[in-house]
Amino acid sequence: METVKLICIGCPMGCDLSVDLENGVPVSVTGNTCPIGKKYAEEEVTAPKRTVTSTALSKDGVPVPVKTAGTVPKGAIFAVVSDVKKAKPSLPVRIGDVIVPDAAGTGVPVVATKDVSR
């Protein structure tokens, strides 16, 4: 039995989590104050994931804030950003518009988080 200590990033509370692992498989989570904490802890010790936010630059250089529509594997963060930087969306962009359909092969799309015209 192995215990991993984590700080939850599910919300700004930052709960101190403790995960018990048996052969690398999480068997119990303590310290969480909501279900997000449990899910985060279980994922974090097996396959950590993050939401990525960045800016794409429109064809004329205007930054368009974007995010991954869900979490992506932590190891894919830089590849996701690289795909975002390759996208050159045309303005205007509406909030929720898909900027990259499948970011770095994660299956997760990148979407605009703000209306940008100009």
- Minimum CB separation from another protein for residue 105, in Å? 18
* Residue placing its CB nearer to another protein in the complex, 7 or 27: 7
Answer for which of 5, 11, 101, 107 binds another protein (CB under 8 A) is: 11
Answer for which of 5, 91, 95, 105 binds another protein (CB under 8 A) is: 95
Among 59, 48, 51, smallest CA distance to 81 is for: 51
d(C-alpha 101, C-alpha 115), whole Å: 18
Q: Check if the beta carbon of residue 117 is closer than 8 Å to that of residue 95.
A: no
* Residue placing its CB nearer to another protein in the complex, 21 or 36: 36
CB burial of 95-115 (b: ≥16 within 10 Å; e: otherwise) equals eebebbeebbebebbbbbbee
d(C-alpha 62, C-alpha 92), whole Å: 10
- Minimum CB separation from another protein for residue 24, in Å? 21
d(C-alpha 11, C-alpha 116), whole Å: 27
* Residue placing its CB nearer to another protein in the complex, 26 or 66: 66
Stretch that binds another protein, among 19-27, 56-64, 100-108 (CB under 8 A): 56-64
Answer for which of 37, 42, 54, 104 binds another protein (CB under 8 A) is: 54
d(C-alpha 103, C-alpha 87), whole Å: 10
Enumerate binding residues for another protein (CB under 8 A). 6-14, 16, 50-55, 57, 61-63, 65-67, 74, 77-78, 81, 95, 113-115
